[in-house]
Each structure stands twice: as C-alpha cells, then as structure tokens.
C-alpha cells in the first residue's frame, strides 16, 4: 500500500518553474526510482517531500495524513529522512559522533557513548564492513563520507528514506553493498526514493520508476509488469528524439590547432584530460552535472596552481598556474558564478568593465577615465546592455545584463580563447540569444576560439562544433557532426550501452 502520495506539486524559484506538475507515489517496502535530466525537477520534488522547500501548490499525503513540513527536522520526526547531495557531516568529529549527531543517546545528562558507538558501528557494519567508526571524518574518502551520511539518515530509523544521488561518489563495490542494504531495509517495510544518473543502477535496484522532464512527471513504470526497457526510459528522459541535425564537419570551418592540452590532471576532480582546440572552433563540454566541467574551466583559466598538465598555445609552452599568465595569453574566463567570481556586484558598471585593464602591463600612471568611458559606452552599445548609466551598481542589473558585463569586460582584448562556464545560467531567452550572437560573431569574424560548458544541452547542440563528454573527471567521448544531438549527448553522458558491470570505477 502507498505510504506517500504526492500530487500536482508546483514550485517556482524567482519566477522560474522548477516543478509545474509533480506527481509521485511510493509504496511500503519498495524502491521508487526518480530519473530525469539536469533541472527536470526530481531533486526539487525530493526536497519538498523532505521539508527543505515548501511547495507553492499541490498536496502531499504521507501515511494517510496531509503533510506540511516547515523544516527537515519536522519531516525527520515523522520518519522521513533524506540523504543530501551536499553532505552534512562535521569533518572534525569521529565517524560515530557524526552518525548520532544531534540525537545523541544519553543516560541522564551524560552522553551514552557506548550505545552510540554500538548503534553507529552496527549501521556501518552493514553498509561498509571494515570502516572503523573511530576514524576522523576528515580522513575519509568521498565515498566513505557518503556512506557515513547514509548511516546518519538511518540512525533516525526512517519509514521513508530519500536518497538523492547517493552513488555519485561511490565505487562499484560500495554501490552493490549499498543496494544489498537497501533491499534489507525494504524487507522491513521501509519505502525508498532513489535518485541516480546511472541508468544501470536504477534498472538494477528499483521496483518502480518515475521519470521527470521539464518540471513534470512524464512517465512511470512498474517493473513488476513492465519490462526494463532502456530505450523506452531514455525516450521518456529526452522527450522527442531529435535526429538528423545537419552540421558542418569541424575540419571545414576550423583552422589549425591553437590550444593543445595534454594529460591535465587535478585529482580528484580532473583525470588525464587531453584535447586540441582549433582556431575558430567552439568546443562544447557536456555531461551530467558535477563531472568536473566547472573544475576544467577553472583549471584552464589558471585557478588551480597545483594542476599538472602539458599545455601549449600556438606551439609555445603554456603554464596553467596563475590567471594573470593566461590573461596575458588572451585566454579569458567568463566564470559560472558571476556574483562570486565574475563581478564586483556593489561597484558600478564602469568599474566592472574597466577593472581588468588595470592588471595589464604598460598602464599609464593616471587612469585615462575619459577614454575608458568612451570604450565602455561602446561595449554597452555592442552588447545591448540595459543599464540606466555607467555609474549604477552592477547588482541592480538583471541577471542577463550582469552576464553581459562579465563578457564585456574582456571586450577590448584580442581574445584567443574564451572560456565560457555556463554563461547563460539564469539568463532569459532574449539576453541569452544576444550573448551567443555576439560570441558567435566574434568566432566567425576574427577566428576566436571558445570552450563552452553549458548545463543546458540545447545550447551545446546549437552552438558547438565538437562536444567532449565528461564523466567522473575524465573525457569519455568526443561528439562531432551528426552525433551532436540531444539524444546522443544524453545517452553518452549517462553511459548507456556501456557494460554496466565494469563501469563505476
């Protein structure tokens, strides 16, 4: 019988609909899989059930009563526990201390450490035998931390357990032992919601499956009756399969190699990445969220001094150790988090546009403000930045216009390589088109090269000449020509067709 019925849930974040019509049913003793591309709403619905967010509309019935939780603690008291993607552990505590944190056993006012240790050790023993609960948490590998996080959720003895991508940091053997444990929980009547990007995992462990796309559930399967049909599932995830999208082969429009990267390594985020970027090429970086794309962009911009890599530009050796060195080579970054990394939000449009020039060599002692002001007006004009003047703080601009400022600050430069880390995130469609038109114009016009990471697959499909798919810090595929379509990108990202048993190393 069903323990949870979620119906017609809608949730907006600042005008953007994360969920428009979310429905979900979970039954006692069964594992319900949630599948969907990035931003399809599966994480949002999980968090609404667990009390992290409140739904704008819709209804949640949990154990035959309407549930309206204001915070995760209320949900937890009601038997709903969620394991978050970003962990909630205190690094300076021991493993067992973390597992019982916030709900420590007591004898009178004194902590009952013996029973706490026993509880923690019992849970860990079943999840990951051999992990010593006396170890400090900061000593653990990401996979071990994930297990501890799961053990922590289980310490509260939940009736409904929500696992939001619990396996992304786990190795194969750990995944299998987690699955065995999930089975033992369901035998005791616990209902589990399981989210993963790895198709084989979902197919292997789930009893039911609900697929989300664009904020609504578009399909569900019950593996008691339905076949485990990979094609059908992928069809639900991607929607209409788009095929035959003609593209020019890259060699036709691109010139010789401009930037070559060999064996880029930045453990544990990036492993042995090699690629050549040609003149006038737009190289896409795709894959599931959080597979190292962001780190790759930052590494190329010189943000990680510890990176090891053989790189060359125009045949000259290039060191990726400092942003200043790369800026001098006209390799410029438009970072993903514009407020933190790309702008001085409290300062004026003028300050933001002019600022990078200050770092150039050969600046005159006194800043020629008049000349710069003219330049800024030109930038504003070309990029169609909507601002009431040069002196308004960037913070007051809309997201799209802020993003244009980030791009615009590099405008006076001759750009060799433009690194775009999700440049259209949170930018409306019109501004997005303006931005890309400007960039594509410069690519075609002056032979600038672009490395584009976009979380939105459509952007990759529309603008890229070649797409590298990343998975767990490695480049696992390069798509060119006819292969550049949504269907192919998603299936490659999820490693569909890869021998399930071997992967996840």
Partner 1 sequence: MNSGRRDAGAPDLRRLFARPEFSSLLILVLMVALTAILQSNFFETKSINRNINAFAPLVLMTMGQAVVILAGGIDLSVGPALSLLTCVLTFVMKRSDPSSGMAALAIGLAVALLLGLINGIGIGYLRIPPVIATFATSFIWLGVALFLRPTPGGESVDWFSAFYNFGDVPGASPAVKAIGTVLPPALLLVLVGCAFWFAISKTRTGRHIYAVGGNSDSAYNSGIDTAKVQTLACMINSVFIFLAALFFVGQTGSGDARMGDPFTLRAIAAAVVGGIALSGGRGNVYFALIGALILSLVNKIIFFANIPYAYQTLVGGAIVIVAIASSRANTMYNKRIKTRESIPG
Interaction site with partner 1 (CB under 8 A): 72-73, 76, 84, 87-93, 97, 101-104, 106, 109-111, 130-132, 135, 138-139, 141, 152, 267-268
The least CB distance from residue 110 to partner 1, in Å, is 5
User: From CA 274, how far away is CA 262, in angstroms rounded?
Assistant: 4
Nearer to partner 1, 51 or 342 (CB): 51
Cα of 88 vs its chain's centroid, Å: 18
Nearer to partner 1, 130 or 389 (CB): 130
Exposed/middle/buried for residue 413 (C-beta within 10 Å: 0-12, 13-18, 19+): middle
Nearer to partner 1, 102 or 189 (CB): 102
User: From CA 305, how far away is CA 424, in angstroms rounded?
Assistant: 27
Nearer to partner 1, 106 or 328 (CB): 106
The least CB distance from residue 409 to partner 1, in Å, is 32
**Could you give the 3-state DSSP secondary structure of residue 438?**
helix
Nearer to partner 1, 139 or 256 (CB): 139
Instruction: Match 């039954």 to its residue by tokens.
Output: 27
The least CB distance from residue 195 to partner 1, in Å, is 19
| Six token digits for residue 487 | 């269907």
The least CB distance from residue 319 to partner 1, in Å, is 21
User: From CA 218, how far away is CA 224, in angstroms rounded?
Assistant: 19
Residue 295 host element (H or E): helix 293-300
Nearer to partner 1, 112 or 480 (CB): 112
The least CB distance from residue 137 to partner 1, in Å, is 9
Beta bridge partners of 282: 450
Beta pairing class for 449-453 and 282-286: parallel
**Could you give the 3-state DSSP secondary structure of residue 111?**
strand
User: From CA 55, how far away is CA 12, in angstroms rounded?
Assistant: 8
Nearer to partner 1, 136 or 382 (CB): 136
The least CB distance from residue 109 to partner 1, in Å, is 5
The least CB distance from residue 124 to partner 1, in Å, is 10
Beta bridge partners of 110: 107
């Amino acid at each position: 019988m069903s323990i949870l019925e979620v119906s017609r849930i809608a949730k907006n974040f600042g005008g953007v609909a994360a969920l428009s019509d979310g429905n979900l049913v979970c039954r006692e003793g069964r594992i319900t899989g949630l599948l969907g591309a990035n931003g399809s709403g599966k994480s949002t619905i999980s968090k609404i059930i667990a009390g992290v967010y409140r739904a704008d509309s819709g209804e949640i019935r949990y154990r035959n009563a309407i549930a309206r939780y204001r915070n995760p603690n209320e949900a937890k008291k009601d038997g709903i526990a969620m394991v978050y993607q970003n962990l909630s552990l205190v690094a300076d505590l021991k493993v067992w201390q973390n597992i019982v944190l916030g709900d420590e056993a007591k004898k009178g006012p004194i902590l009952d450490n013996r029973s706490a240790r026993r509880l923690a050790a019992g849970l860990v023993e079943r999840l990951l035998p051999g992990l010593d609960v006396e170890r400090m948490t900061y000593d653990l590998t990401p996979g071990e931390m994930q297990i501890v996080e799961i053990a922590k959720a289980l310490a509260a003895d939940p009736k409904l357990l929500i696992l939001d991508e619990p396996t992304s940091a786990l190795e194969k053997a750990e995944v299998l032992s987690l699955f065995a444990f999930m089975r033992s929980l369901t035998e005791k009547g616990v209902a589990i919601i399981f989210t993963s990007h790895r198709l084989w995992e979902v197919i292997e462990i789930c009893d039911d499956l609900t697929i989300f796309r664009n904020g609504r559930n578009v399909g569900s399967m019950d593996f008691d009756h339905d076949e485990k049909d990979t094609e059908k599932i992928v069809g639900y995830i991607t929607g209409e399969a788009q095929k035959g999208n003609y593209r020019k082969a890259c060699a036709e429009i691109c010139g010789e190699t401009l930037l070559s990267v060999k064996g880029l390594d930045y453990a544990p985020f990036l492993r042995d990445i090699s690629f050549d970027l040609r003149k006038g090429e737009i190289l896409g970086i795709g894959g599931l969220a959080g597979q190292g794309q962001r780190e790759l962009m930052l590494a190329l911009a010189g943000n990680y001094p510890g990176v090891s890599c053989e790189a060359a530009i125009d045949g000259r050796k290039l060191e990726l150790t400092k942003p200043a060195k790369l800026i001098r080579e006209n390799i410029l970054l438009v970072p993903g988090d514009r407020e933190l990394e790309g702008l001085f939000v409290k300062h004026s449009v003028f300050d933001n546009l002019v600022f990078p020039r200050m770092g150039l060599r050969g600046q005159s002692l006194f800043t020629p403000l008049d000349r710069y002001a003219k330049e800024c007006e030109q930038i504003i004009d070309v990029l169609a930045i909507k601002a009431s003047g040069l002196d308004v703080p960037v913070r007051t601009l809309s997201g799209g216009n802020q993003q244009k400022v980030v791009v615009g600050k590099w405008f006076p430069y001759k750009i060799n390589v433009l690194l775009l880390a999700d440049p259209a995130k949170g930018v409306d469609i019109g501004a997005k088109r303006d931005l890309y038109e400007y960039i594509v114009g410069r690519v075609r016009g002056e032979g600038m090269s672009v490395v584009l990471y976009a979380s939105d697959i459509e952007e990759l499909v529309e603008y890229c000449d070649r797409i590298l798919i990343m998975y767990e810090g490695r480049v696992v595929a390069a798509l060119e020509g006819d292969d550049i379509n949504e269907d192919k990108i998603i299936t490659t990202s999820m490693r569909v067709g890869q021998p399930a048993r071997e992967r996840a190393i």
